[in-house]
Structure 1
């Protein structure tokens, strides 16, 4: 009985390879979906947060944060992840600050696990006075909502 199963499994594998070869490389493997992204642009900077919703444990993982400083004004820019949850409410996470000046870009890879289910997230960008570290002119992007969970 085992040799027959192995023969049938081998034939099935060979048939699937032949089907993929006949279909061509463009249709052989579906392209991975892009993760949901929250984005905001201002005169002083641009922030982008892409994240994947996770369900066991609940959270966002991975979270890819990118930040650009776009204005030579003596200020730095910061970005924060803002998560929304029915159990944990709205959480504004640690600020990531880009101090390197106009025309520069920073990036971070992290995760967020607040405890309960994350149903949405947004990006918060601020202008930061370099000498004092105080933020002003903060804006929040449009929220990205979990449509699958």
Structure 2
């Protein structure tokens, strides 16, 4: 980089400041940073204006191994969760039988309620008839005891 001719590249001031700060931290001149950035773009066939594709960067073996482990753990967790759901849920025929029994119980409950109402109505009719019978019996006894005074 020592025999490179210098030139000026126009960039926004805030971007230039960010680049300078980065280069100071890295201990490298700005020109070297630009050169490395350009080499990186060329090496990875990275088109910054292509919005359709993202660049393919090689993934380190350790990162790939960790990713595979995470994928395997996710699959195991998924299988475990599915098995737990199946263990907790009752069989479909048990669900169907329980549903039928509930429908039958509801029907019997309605029928029982209807019979109770009919029984109540019949009890009321019985009580009224019994009261009327008692009244008539008392009236008949009273009529038999009435003496008409005909001695005048």
Relative to the length of structure 1, the TM-score reads: 0.18
Structure number with the higher strand fraction is 1
Normalization by structure 2: what TM-score?
Answer: 0.18
RCO higher in structure (CA 8 A, sep ≥6): 1
